[in-house]
Amino acid sequence: MSGVAPALLRPATWRDIPGMLAVERAAFPDEPWDEAGLWAELASRPRRAYVVAAREGQQGHEGIEGYAGLDVAGDVADVMTLAVHPGSRGGGLGSSLLGRLHDLARGAGATSVLLEVRSGNEVARRLYAAHGYGLVRTRERYYRSGEDALVLRKELHP
């Protein structure tokens, strides 16, 4: 998309919730988080940290192309979610969001990161493998659809 400013990562604000919700619904149409869930996640700060990827010069929820969230409790951090709008995929945005979560986790003193991913989400699984995540275990029939969740872990290095 020539002529379109690249997405910049910044902390999420309450004003971003409509844009985050739009990305959520587009990225996960079968089981999206709802608005109340996103409000609850942002209300859980400082333990939770959320970042959005927004086009430069855009204010509020306009221009949000993706977002990601992290929960830090001691030396282990959990990726709560990572979503990229389908129209913004393939340009490294997911990798940038995940890298920012790793930086936030390190900054909060975490030494490892855990996450859950749908067993059938090959794109996400490749992203996580490229960032050094390994399989810990499988949670059978974890999602409402009956699909398994893979629990992955990455050791953080200073």
Percent of the chain exceeding pLDDT 70 equals 92
In a domain, 1, yes or no: no
CA distance 53 to 94: 9
Query: What are the phi and psi torsion angles at 103 (to 5°)?
Result: -60, -45
CA distance 149 to 79: 14
Instruction: Say if residues 127 and 83 touch (Cβ distance below 8 Å).
Output: no
In a domain, 20, yes or no: yes
Residue count of the chain, please give it.
158
CA distance 143 to 69: 19
Q: What's residue 31's pLDDT? A: 85
In a domain, 93, yes or no: yes
Each residue of 95-152: pLDDT tens digit? 999 999 999 999 999 999 999 999 999 999 999 999 999 999 999 999 888 999 999 9
Domain of residue 70 covers 7-155
State the amino acid at position 99 in one-letter form.
G
In a domain, 15, yes or no: yes
In a domain, 2, yes or no: no
How many structural domains comprise the chain? 1
